[in-house]
Homo-oligomer: A and B are copies of this chain.
Amino acid sequence: MKENNKWEIISHSLEPSQLMVDETLFHTANGYLGVRGNFEEGYVDQYDTIRGAYINGFYDISEVKHGEKLYGFTESKQKIINITDVQGIQLFIAGDRFSLFEGETLAYKRTLDMQAGVVKRHIEWKSPKGHILEIDILRMASFVKPELFLIDYTIKSINYEGEIVLVSTQIGEVSNYFNPNDPRVAAEAEKHLTVTQIRREADIDLVYSETNASNLKVTSAVKHVVSTRCHIESTSDKSSLTSKIKFNIKLGATERLIKYCIFTDSIRYSDCNQSALCSMYEVTEMPIQKLYESQQAYLDSFWKVADVVIEGDETLQQGIHFSVFQLLQSVGKDKYSNIAAKGLSGEGYEGHYFWDTEIYMLPFFVLTDQKIAEGLLSYRYEKLDEARKNARIMGHQKGALYPWRTISGSECSAYFPSGSAQYHINADIAYMFVQHYLVTKNVDFVINKSAEVLFETARLWMDTGHYIEDTFRIDAVTGPDEYTCLVNNNYYTNVMAKYNLKWAVKFYEVVKKYGDITHLSQSIGLTEEEVSTWEEAYQKMYLVYDEKLDINPQDDTFFSKARWDFSNTPKENYPLLLHYHPLHIYRYQVCKQADTVLAHFLLEDEQKLSTIQNSFEYYEKITTHDSSLSTCIFSIMAARLGDTHKAYDYFMQTTRLDLDNTHHNTKDGLHTANMGGTYMGMVYGFAGLRIKETGIYFNPIIPEQWDNYEFKICYQNRMIKVHMSKERCIFELSQGEALIIDVWGNKYQLIDTIIIDLDKRKESENA
């Protein structure tokens, strides 16, 4: 159970069945480095653990095996790897080893403090011999110094006087978690990291390791600082270092061990051994309090912009804070990394980056931290060459096709029907480049990066599609809904491709006007004629529509299939993908997640309101939400369609998905996209935000359960604060020049503050 505290996630009890889930929920990360919330002292043998630490974008290469390997099938994949284990600290008191599974736990509290950016454990423990200690363990992954993770271990003696022994370890022999029967995690045990050297330089313990196939290096460094006079006995073997720290504790006294851990890797550092040492010197030279203060200051400024406040529902407020905080913990802040499907909280989906980044997580960063957003987009720009190569493998003469899942840029999907066939990722990425432009009006970014990405993705659609009956069609792709694969004219894909093509043309004009179109065109062999083919294709894009039902079918033949027999599907058979052969699932009208409904959210102007409404109702009945990317979209669309009650229900399912482990696999890591979905649910759903070429729009509603809500967004060098209560809606321009905003269909000039009374709005609706 997690206590309702809006800034903290608190666990008061130790439930064995919850151990692995808590490892995820209480993980400590800063976008570069992530350490799962394993106990320093470990569990007892009968309890499973996924003990791990990860660096974003740091991977090894694994062979991909196929029972039947056809042309172009992925032969190898990157995977995030578990790095040196620095978490171990054993405490011995009078011969008893501290363990929560022995002796007596008098008090237990674990806290994720989202304002301070630390995870704390407070324990009062009576040893088998009856000695009582208060143990406080704080963990932090520094946002300011990303290579730093630290464990601040404090011991207070209640009734004991004598020797305490702390045995702190740094273990280089690590491996990844695997489960052969779950397609969502790695299937086979494999060793990825080999220790090349163990060193001790002054009082710093160093482990140098190298990945087995990708030839990357990682260095970990550990330094122990103890509050009292102590004796340290250091030993090592081929792959690990152990420090046995002995000191005496007085009755009632408090002693403290700070374990500083530095991780550097050869992707970012030309000499990661030297860099690790320098970083260690730097962080240990300053008082630790400064490190905590800098963390606090970083988070203060983060929350100042990013906070989404809800009054009237503490549980929900907590869930929203958790979501937003986890986005920050997960996001890579350099061009070498992105946001993995599980952030840095676990090994699910092998640390790969998916479309999740663009469609679910980038919206948050684009609206709150454009530097991070541009970093994420730049990552895609940097991988354009890899995407071009991928397009060739998939049989395309021209253009770039982004891989469905990747770390370093090449395709890592081993099952193409619900992997590489999801060509929509190309349009998803393009969509977010456009959104970034609409939010920032950053023309330089378009010239330097976005345009080329849009051009190459547009080209891919031209090479994929074809004309029939004067409409442009796209065959043999898979839409977002992975329960229906390899279809023709998936509505989502086609409408997104249309937008991709349309904006490729627009960006061409932008570069022509403000940049050097000749240079760019020459470098990729582009002509005006080719651009005009994009224009024609987007104008003639075929969007499947059922006139009788006034619904967009998911694809050409979706409506001719039988509906899934939900009434005869036992509850334990969900998620369907773990209980039915994919071919069986493909045969029915059943959706894993929002597909057409998502398309209607992203591009609402493509359809009439009635079509959007009818589609929502139709798909709602056949969607299992087996994907964690689904309920947030249904919440947003319910809000937009005016069903506040339903929007609220879907939103509740969204915000607490991991906190309540509703998908039963939080142990493998957080559903990070769903965290982004929570943010979107608030901003795009309840507040009804739209950012279009024609301006910025709001359409706020408020569920009856809440008193009010409030958030800020950055828009074209401005900061706009939105406050919505049951009585009124207030827009405040906290920064930047006046602008026109559209609220409920009315234009307002926002100079300082606009207050719109809901009563008056109702009156005007009645009029």
Which chain A residues have a beta carbon within 8 Å of chain B's beta carbons?
Answer: 64-74, 77, 180-181, 183, 187, 393-396, 413-417, 419-421, 464, 466, 468, 473, 475-476, 485-486, 488, 556-557, 560-562, 577-587
Contacts and interface: CB of A to CB of B under 8 A. Distances in A.
A413 B582 contact: no
Contact of A587 (B71, B180, B464, B485): B464
Contacts of A586: 475-476, 486
Given A416-B583, A583-B476, A557 B488 contact: yes
Contact of A69 (B71, B183, B419, B464): B183
A389 to B, nearest CB: 13
A583 B475 CA distance: 10
Report copies per complex. Answer: 2
Q: Which 9 A-B pairs have the closest CB atoms?
A: A67-B414, A395-B584, A72-B581, A65-B65, A466-B562, A68-B415, A476-B587, A64-B67, A68-B414
A561 B475 contact: yes
A88 B258 CA distance: 72
A521 to B, nearest CB: 25
Contacts of A69: 180-181, 183, 187
Contact of A413 (B68, B72, B77, B464): B68
Nearest to A396: B584
Contacts of A577: 70-71
A320 B212 CA distance: 56
Given A181-B69, A560-B473, A561-B488, A583 B420 contact: yes
Contacts of A395: 580-581, 583-585
Given A414-B66, A475-B560, A581 B419 contact: no
A149 to B, nearest CB: 32
A419 B417 CA distance: 14
Given A67-B187, A393-B581, 7 more contacts: A65-B65, A65-B66, A73-B581, A395-B585, A466-B561, A486-B583, A557-B557
B560 A488 contact: yes
A309 to B, nearest CB: 41
Contact of A71 (B413, B416, B582): B582
A421 B583 contact: yes
Contacts of A419: 68
A581 B633 CA distance: 33
A467 to B, nearest CB: 9
B486 A72 contact: no
Nearest to A575: B71
A488 B414 CA distance: 25
B67 A415 contact: yes
Nearest to A586: B476
Given A395-B584, A475-B561, A583-B420, A74 B70 contact: no
10 contacts: A67-B414, A69-B183, A70-B577, A394-B583, A417-B417, A421-B583, A466-B562, A468-B562, A486-B486, A556-B557
A180 to B, nearest CB: 7
A83 to B, nearest CB: 24
Contacts of A420: 581, 583
A476 B585 CA distance: 9
Nearest to A77: B67
Contacts of A180: 69
A586 B416 CA distance: 12
A72 B183 CA distance: 12
A219 to B, nearest CB: 31
Contacts of A72: 580-584
Q: Which of A64, A70, A420, A485 has the most CB of B within 10 A?
A: A70
A585 B70 CA distance: 12
Contacts of A557: 475, 488, 556-557
Contact of A581 (B70, B473, B584): B70
A485 B486 contact: yes
